[in-house]
Amino acid sequence: MTNEEILSALKGQWGNLLKKGQPLIFHKGQVLVYEGHDPYGVFVIQSGDIQFTKGKSSCPAEHFWHSPKGNVLGVEHFFDGSPFCCTCVATSDCRVVFISKTQLLPFATK
């Protein structure tokens, strides 16, 4: 499934998921996810800029991505069980809501 298909399937659940999620702030230079690591949840971007960098694996994402409110980072990797294909670094202060695997799985099976 693509990111858009997954998000569409969960569309009616995002309000509940966001309430259960943990608000976090990543400051400029902090890493949100590391290439090659397994996903342990997803990040719903509230504000900020994120740079995608890749080492040896291919990454379909842009090298620099302005993250408008509501974008979900890591959802495809979470659902297909693949490790992150890029390292994602905050290039400005970023506000996110982290939704853990244990919070997301019950909604994913509905």
Q: What is the pLDDT of residue 19?
A: 87
The predicted model scores a pTM of 0.79
Sheet with 87-90: strands ordered across: 31-33, 87-90, 49-53, 64-66
Write out pLDDT tens, residues 38-77: 999 999 889 998 888 877 655 555 545 555 667 888 888 8
Q: Which domains does the chain have, with CATH numbers?
A: 3-108 (2.60.120.10)
Taking alpha carbons only, the member of 105, 94, 80, 99 closest to residue 41 is 99
Q: What is the DSSP string of 6-46?
A: HHHHTGGGHHHHHHHSEEEEE-TT-EEE-TTPPP-EEEEEE
Q: Which residue has the tokens 């997954």?
A: 6
Q: What is the pLDDT of residue 13?
A: 75
